[in-house]
Amino acid sequence: MTAGRPAERPRWQSECRDAIGVFGVVFIAYLLGAWLGWKSFGSAVGPAFFYPSAGVTVAAMMLTRRTRWPAIVVAIVLAEGLVDLYFGNPPAVAAGYALANVVEPLIGASITLRWCRGVPDLRDRKDFAAFVAGACVIAPVFGGLIGGTVASWSHGSGWFSDVLQWWAGDGVGVLVTAAPILLWSKQYAIVKARPLEAAVVVLLASVLSVAAFWSQAQPSMLILPVLAWAALRLDVLGAALTGMMIAFVATTMTSRGRGVFSEMNLSPASQLAVTQLFVAVLLLVSLLMAQEAAARLQALRDREAERREQVRLRSVSDLALHLSAALTPTEIGLTLERQLLADGGADALSLGLLSRDGERLEWVTRVGLPAAVVGSASDGVPLADATMAAETVRRGQPILLRNRAEFNARYPQTSSWFDGTGAQTLASWPLDAGGRPIGVMQLMWRRPQPLDAAQCAYFSAAATMVGQALVRARAYADDHARAAVLQSAVLPAVPGDADGLEICVGYEPTDAAHGVCGDWYDVMPLSGNRTYLAVGDVVGHGLSAVTDMAQLRSAARALAIQGLPASGLLAELNSFTRHASKGRLARLTVATFDSAAAVLRYGLAGNPPPLLRRKATGQVTQLSSASGPALGPLTRANYTEGLVQLQPGDIVLFYTDGLVERRGTRIEAGGASDIDAGIAEAEMLLAEWDPNISLSAASASLHQMLAPRPRVDDVCTMVIRVISPGP
């Protein structure tokens, strides 16, 4: 035992403690339900016409592990025996009733759990139907056969009527009592969010039920509006709780000769049977109505979420296009002001850049904030200060504060700032350049925001593009930052592996001294277990080529986020290139890898075909199913998409023409034979690779063997290897 560390409780002790807890809860609940059955629901003269304990036991078994079912069985036997003996039943009768009430929940829980493949979710139509059929209809048949037989023998009454009454009483008891118990854990938050309304609905249902039965009025006229209220406002749990109260009142009042059912020219047993039917139908209708209302409300929420997501996607695309044209931090700030405050719904925006010495954050843009707040930090914020903006830069991670309590707990010394802005929710994202912090983007809302996954993904994408745009802006302002332009605004920090892929990039500009060229690569995670991959080349060199490249890359990212297929993405980029690249053409290979299906979808725009090396055979093939011309020259160009199924260990090589060109021959100049010779050499090299070769070593050998220095063109390669199996 480690000193100072308490000894862990043995597992059997925990199991015993949990079993005792289950026993206690079931015993007390069963005892109360059985007592009500004797006092109010007819157990004194035969099978109860409404037996709440039946719902308690079957729900308990559905919600607990089978290893704890013996504790529930013991609780049933003891509670049933105590109640029966207390009210004067002989021990043999008590034993028969206990057996019936043990067999019934065992069968009901087993059938329902099997049909639903777990605890039934009564919000789901299929699970609800399985619950009604298994626990409310089939299982009470077995309980009725045993309990009804014992009751008939004990009271000298008709066997069939006792069996039928037991079946109906337990079936209604399970439907009325088990439904809210099973729904409680799944929908308690709804009642918790509206406690007063829930209490009013349940109380009103009880009062109106008493009034309806007391006055001999048609009960449904008073009760149905309350049930509709519960179903629409409190979901299925609200309908179940309301229905339970109505069932208690209806059965109690009818058994005492009150209500429209007691006025029928029927025997007392038939009157109670009609009441049972009324309760069952009423509760079934209310639960189904609640399910339908919940489904329709969820459909509306889904459509609204889809609409908001479409707005965000369009906004991301527009933001990428506008940022690609912004050349100064001020222009970037104005672009953010137009996009994020309008489409993002934020009330205030602050954009800060790290000073040259790295000691302060200097504000580029601050809009939507009170003048006093802006003036208090007009000269910036020291990076060492305990402020939200400074901490975001220091940590390099987003900070999300959804309410004032979170802000005060984290920054108690600046709580007055929160008061001065009227903020309810704050969020900040770091801006970086190739992993190096360069600033912060901070947003504020005056209404509480959930900051859910969709919101965070949108603003995170915006922060990424802003970081790239700021780097480009600094590079335009300072020629000495050209290397940063290439590294941060053009080339992302490539992970060693993505979702299901190991990735290695080789990048060698012709101008090694300045590192500026038109080749580029991109790797970006997408939704649905997909990864976006791109290798491209803008004709030309220098900062002008880098500018075109950055715009094209940003536009391609925005289109990829929208989920366009490779053919559609390239078609859109072709139109964009004609207007944005000042007449330059560009070549591009784009692909998306679906790790769940191990499928690679790709498209080509003037680039040589990727090469696939199969691990199983070592065979190397060209991925040439896709085709399309270079981007820019043609007004209407047709692009097709290729698809290939990959296996673990398969390697794919993406590359620009600089890797396989010979003697300066260009693809568009008709040098197909020389290009083909270079591709053939590349295929031979890939075929010679060991299946487990290091990708970095493989990439280096490609550059050394196929494009040694001095070279006449830039070279960019991306080698990927599948590391996770497909379906």
pLDDT for residue 480 is more than 60: no
Arithmetic mean of pLDDT, 102-131: 92
Q: At what angle do helices 672-688 and 695-706 cross, to 10 degrees?
A: 140
Other Cβ atoms within 10 Å of 414 Cβ, number: 14
Strands lying side by side in the sheet with 436-445: 381-382, 360-367, 348-354, 436-445, 425-433, 399-401
Q: Please give the model's pTM, rounded to 2 decimal places.
A: 0.49
Arithmetic mean of pLDDT, 677-695: 92
Identify the pLDDT of residue 331: 84
* Range in 3-7, 505-509, 590-594 with the lowest mean pLDDT: 3-7
pLDDT tens figures, 144-156: 899 889 888 887 7
pLDDT for residue 542 is more than 70: no
Structure tokens at 83: 């109640």
Identify the pLDDT of residue 628: 93
Arithmetic mean of pLDDT, 656-665: 74
pLDDT for residue 262 is more than 90: no
Other Cβ atoms within 10 Å of 589 Cβ, number: 27
Arithmetic mean of pLDDT, 501-507: 91
Structure tokens at 508: 């060698």
pLDDT for residue 252 is more than 80: no
* Range in 234-238, 311-315, 322-326, 689-693 with the lowest mean pLDDT: 311-315
pLDDT for residue 494 is more than 80: no
Least Cα distance to 174 among 219, 206, 141 occurs for: 141
In degrees rounded to 5, what are phi and psi of residue 46?
160, -165
Arithmetic mean of pLDDT, 4-9: 49
What confidence tier does 2 reach under pLDDT thresholds 50, 70, 90?
Answer: very low
The reply to whether CATH 1.10.1760 applies to domain 16-179 is yes
pLDDT tens figures, 715-724: 899 999 999 6
Residue 662 near residue 674 (C-beta atoms within 8 A): yes
Correct CATH for 491-727 of 3.30.70.890, 3.60.40.10, 3.30.70.141, 3.30.420.40: 3.60.40.10
What confidence tier does 48 reach under pLDDT thresholds 50, 70, 90?
Answer: low
- State the alpha helices, DSSP H only, in 326-361: 329-340
pLDDT tens figures, 110-122: 999 999 999 999 8
What confidence tier does 490 reach under pLDDT thresholds 50, 70, 90?
Answer: low
What confidence tier does 498 reach under pLDDT thresholds 50, 70, 90?
Answer: confident
Rounded to whole angstroms, the maximal C-alpha distance in the chain is 109
Least Cα distance to 235 among 184, 303, 281 occurs for: 184
Average pLDDT of the chain to the nearest whole number:
82
Arithmetic mean of pLDDT, 336-359: 81
Other Cβ atoms within 10 Å of 693 Cβ, number: 16
What confidence tier does 103 reach under pLDDT thresholds 50, 70, 90?
Answer: very high
User: Considering the domain 326-481 in this protein, what is its CATH number?
Assistant: 3.30.450.40
Assess whether the previous peptide bond of 710 is cis (omega < 30° from 0): yes
d(CA 644, CA 726): 12
pLDDT tens figures, 164-184: 888 888 888 888 889 889 988
- Determine the residue type at 434: G
Arithmetic mean of pLDDT, 440-467: 85
Identify the pLDDT of residue 484: 43
Percent of the chain with pLDDT over 90: 27
Identify the pLDDT of residue 540: 72
Identify the pLDDT of residue 44: 43
Identify the pLDDT of residue 516: 62
What confidence tier does 462 reach under pLDDT thresholds 50, 70, 90?
Answer: confident
- State how far Cα 492 lies from the chain centre: 27
Structure tokens at 605: 């725009």
d(CA 413, CA 557): 41
d(CA 548, CA 519): 11
- State the alpha helices, DSSP H only, in 47-116: 52-63, 69-86, 91-116
* Range in 138-152, 184-198, 620-634 with the lowest mean pLDDT: 184-198
- CB within 8 Å of 718: residues ≥ 6 apart: 503, 504, 505, 506, 521, 523, 533, 535, 653, 654, 655
Residue 535 near residue 718 (C-beta atoms within 8 A): yes
The residue written with tokens 């009564």 in the block is 122
Identify the pLDDT of residue 268: 61
How many Cα atoms sit within 13 Å of 385 on the Cβ side? Answer: 16
- CB within 8 Å of 463: residues ≥ 6 apart: 398, 429, 430, 431, 441
Per-residue exposure over 4-39, b if at least 16 CB sit within 10 Å of its own CB, e if not: eeeeeeeeeeeeeeebeebbebbbebbbebbbbbbe
d(CA 242, CA 593): 51
- Determine the residue type at 107: I
Identify the pLDDT of residue 552: 87
pLDDT for residue 367 is more than 70: yes
pLDDT for residue 341 is more than 80: no
pLDDT for residue 401 is more than 80: yes
Arithmetic mean of pLDDT, 267-296: 73
pLDDT for residue 527 is more than 80: yes
- Determine the residue type at 393: V
Dihedral over alpha carbons 335, 337, 342, 347 (to 10 degrees): 160
d(CA 604, CA 627): 5
Other Cβ atoms within 10 Å of 219 Cβ, number: 24
